[in-house]
């Protein structure tokens, strides 16, 4: 691939992952981290930036993306994992979050108070427009996205640069959390889950593959190399944006008059935009975020409807689009904070399994693996993550669960993954189990 093509795909990847809804998380990470800023933001960037781009590059190892690659692990597992992922980045969490983020940043600043009726009316209008765009997949949403992403990035850049100059007169905030060893890193790491980008990569990989093929490139090795280079460009841009927003949250003295009935991240962005550009900053940010969330929601509804229609062709694409839009509408009216709080335990279970699958596929590209080297670690990772979830949600009080290595950092699944992989690989070799490879020739 020529560098011009690599840069084009890199910016496309950046646009895909730089959703307006993700803007609300970095300032809060910086604000809560206080004196533990660097471990917190490193943890956040690992899951919010690193894992999504690794996931995208790994997906390019198969010409059919993860839909084809996961089938080679197990066809049933492939369907179950992809169904869960599409529902998570679609109607259950990500799409409702776009509506509530649009409300809190694009509508609420101009209201006298935050009411359920205002959210209801906003979500009716928002999802009517979402459904219209999803049912009419022409160039409208793409054109808006192509123009809007640079505007959104430019707006954030202006706010960041302006506030950095303002921040020189402020002292760094003191941490309101007493993070223990690894606590700040674990906090940032798990907050990065909330972007949902790492699991979205499993759904987005095929879009990148098709985009590169559309440039006239058909060699799988070149597609993979181009995806890796484009991923590095997108990772750099995302890291700069998230890091800057987190730094601002960490260094700017936030007003004590922030509304208590609003999501902290959304309130902080409004406050910072006002500090930087006055009322014009609030209006500009609100309008850009409102349209950005609309294009994101219509794209996700369309992607989910397309996937489920491929599974169940007797049910039309339009029917799925309507069903998923209605589900999103109902869940959006819980409010932004409720959606985020509800997603945390679900994501803490999905992420380890999804990321383990990605890493195992990546390894198998260079080392053909017996199927038990896939199956055993994935089963063990799921069990470990489930036990950790049950303990942290106080459903069980078995103290032995906390004895797992890296439990305090919420990374107890990593040693389990390594051990399960090594045992599975050795057992597979001993019984001469046929191997599976996801090399670039596939």
Does residue 195 surpass a pLDDT of 60? yes
Model pTM?
0.82
| Confidence tier at 275 by pLDDT (50, 70, 90) | confident
Q: Which of 252, 236, 358 is nearest to 27 (CA)?
A: 252
Tokens representing 288?
């850009």
Helix (H, G, I), strand (E, B) or coil at 369: strand
What are the tens digits of pLDDT across the range 380-405?
999 999 999 999 888 998 888 988 88
What are the tens digits of pLDDT across the range 14-72?
877 876 668 889 998 998 888 889 999 999 999 999 999 999 988 888 877 888 888 88
DSSP code of residue 138:
S
Same domain, 76 and 220: yes
Same domain, 345 and 329: no
DSSP code of residue 148:
H
Q: Which of 87-91, 124-128, 244-248, 260-264 has the lowest mean pLDDT?
A: 260-264
Query: For the domain that residue 162 is a member of, what is the CATH number?
Result: 1.20.1740.10
Helix (H, G, I), strand (E, B) or coil at 370: strand
Helix (H, G, I), strand (E, B) or coil at 274: helix
Instruction: Decide which of 333, 350, 368 is a domain's last residue.
Output: 333
Q: Backbone phi, then psi, for 93, in 5-degree steps?
A: -135, -60
Residues 6 or more apart whose CB falls under 8 angstroms from that of 338 comprise none
Give the rounded percent of residues in the chain with a pLDDT score beyond 90. 33
Same domain, 48 and 188: yes
Averaged confidence pLDDT in the chain? 85
Same domain, 393 and 256: no
The domain tally of the chain equals: 2
Same domain, 314 and 359: no
Does residue 181 surpass a pLDDT of 80? no
Same domain, 253 and 372: no
CA 90 to CA 306: how far, in whole Å?
A: 12
Cβ atoms 2, 217 nearer than 8 A: no
CA 260 to CA 180: how far, in whole Å?
A: 28
Instruction: Decide which of 333, 367, 394 is a domain's last residue.
Output: 333
Same domain, 106 and 210: yes
pLDDT of residue 174: 47
CA 383 to CA 377: how far, in whole Å?
A: 10
Same domain, 409 and 268: no
Same domain, 380 and 270: no
Helix (H, G, I), strand (E, B) or coil at 436: strand
Choice between 425 and 203, residue whose per-residue pLDDT is larger: 425
Q: Which of 359, 393, 391 is nearest to 373 (CA)?
A: 359
What range defines the domain where residue 378 resides? 340-441
Same domain, 120 and 104: yes
Instruction: Decide which of 333, 362, 395 is a domain's last residue.
Output: 333
Same domain, 327 and 192: yes
Same domain, 246 and 266: yes
pLDDT of residue 85: 92
Does residue 245 surpass a pLDDT of 70? yes
């Amino acid at each position: 691939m020529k560098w011009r093509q690599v840069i084009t795909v890199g910016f496309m990847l950046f646009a895909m992952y730089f959703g307006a809804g993700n803007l609300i998380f970095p300032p809060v990470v910086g604000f809560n981290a206080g004196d533990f800023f660097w471990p917190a933001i490193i943890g956040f960037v690992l899951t919010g930036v690193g894992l999504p781009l690794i996931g995208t590059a790994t997906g390019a190892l198969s010409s059919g993306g993860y839909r084809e690659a996961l089938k080679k692990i197990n066809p049933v597992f492939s369907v179950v994992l992809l169904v869960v992922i599409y529902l998570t980045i679609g109607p259950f969490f990500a799409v409702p979050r776009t509506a509530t983020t649009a409300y809190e940043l694009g509508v609420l600043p101009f209201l006298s108070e935050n009411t359920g009726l205002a959210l209801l009316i906003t979500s009716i209008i928002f999802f009517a427009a979402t459904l219209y765009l999803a049912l009419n997949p022409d160039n409208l949403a793409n054109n808006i996205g192509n123009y809007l992403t640079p505007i959104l990035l430019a707006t954030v850049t202006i706010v960041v640069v302006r506030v950095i100059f303002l921040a020189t007169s402020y002292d760094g905030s003191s941490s309101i959390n007493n993070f223990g060893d690894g606590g700040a890193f674990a906090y940032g790491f798990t907050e990065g889950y909330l972007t949902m980008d790492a699991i979205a990569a499993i759904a987005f990989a095929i879009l990148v593959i098709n985009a590169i093929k559309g440039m006239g490139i058909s060699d799988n090795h070149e597609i993979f190399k181009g995806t890796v280079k484009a991923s590095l460009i997108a990772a750099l841009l995302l890291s700069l944006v998230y890091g800057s927003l987190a730094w601002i949250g960490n260094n700017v003295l936030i007003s004590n008059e922030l509304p208590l009935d609003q999501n902290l991240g959304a309130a902080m962005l409004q406050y910072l935009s006002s500090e930087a550009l006055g009322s014009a900053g609030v209006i500009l940010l609100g309008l850009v975020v409102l349209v950005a969330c609309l294009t994101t929601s219509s794209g996700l509804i369309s992607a989910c409807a397309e996937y489920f229609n491929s599974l169940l062709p007797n049910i039309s694409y339009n029917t799925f689009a309507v069903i998923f839009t209605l589900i999103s509408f109902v869940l959006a009216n819980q409010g932004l904070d409720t959606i985020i709080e509800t997603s945390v335990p679900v994501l803490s279970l999905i992420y380890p399994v999804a990321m383990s699958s990605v890493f195992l596929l990546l390894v198998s590209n260079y080392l053909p693996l017996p199927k038990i080297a896939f199956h055993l670690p994935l089963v063990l990772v799921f069990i470990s993550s489930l036990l950790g979830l049950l303990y942290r949600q106080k459903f069980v009080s078995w103290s032995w669960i906390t004895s797992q290595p890296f439990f305090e950092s919420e990374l107890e699944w990593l040693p389990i993954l390594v051990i399960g992989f090594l045992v599975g690989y050795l057992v597979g070799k001993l019984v001469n189990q046929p191997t599976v490879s996801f090399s670039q020739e596939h």
